[in-house]
Amino acid sequence: MGAPPFHIEFGAADYGLRAWVTGTNGTLETTLACWRAIAEEVRRLAPPGLLVVDDMEGLPPPPEQLLQFVQAMRGQGMEAVRIAYVEKHVEQIPQ
């Protein structure tokens, strides 16, 4: 099994935890692997808040896969954490 197509740099902040994500996205599997890695760090540190800066190349999974993503993330330990998400590449924001 090779390295994941993404890298996450974690850092502490006054609001809790910052996760800066780089690499290549394009599949639901990559998105889930990335967010599960973030959830693992959230479970380890139990921050009150989380800022995710998505600086990944490639297209995000299609909007119709959003429900699958949300259902797959249930029970991952992020339910009580305030989350802010920033997409660095405006062309990747669905219209």
Helix axes 66-73, 28-45, angle to 10 degrees: 30
Full-model pTM: 0.90
pLDDT of residue 61: 77
pLDDT of residue 4: 86
pLDDT of residue 12: 96
Per-residue pLDDT of the chain (95 residues), as tens digits, is 578 899 999 999 999 999 999 999 888 999 999 999 999 999 999 999 999 999 999 877 788 898 999 999 999 999 999 999 998 877 666 66
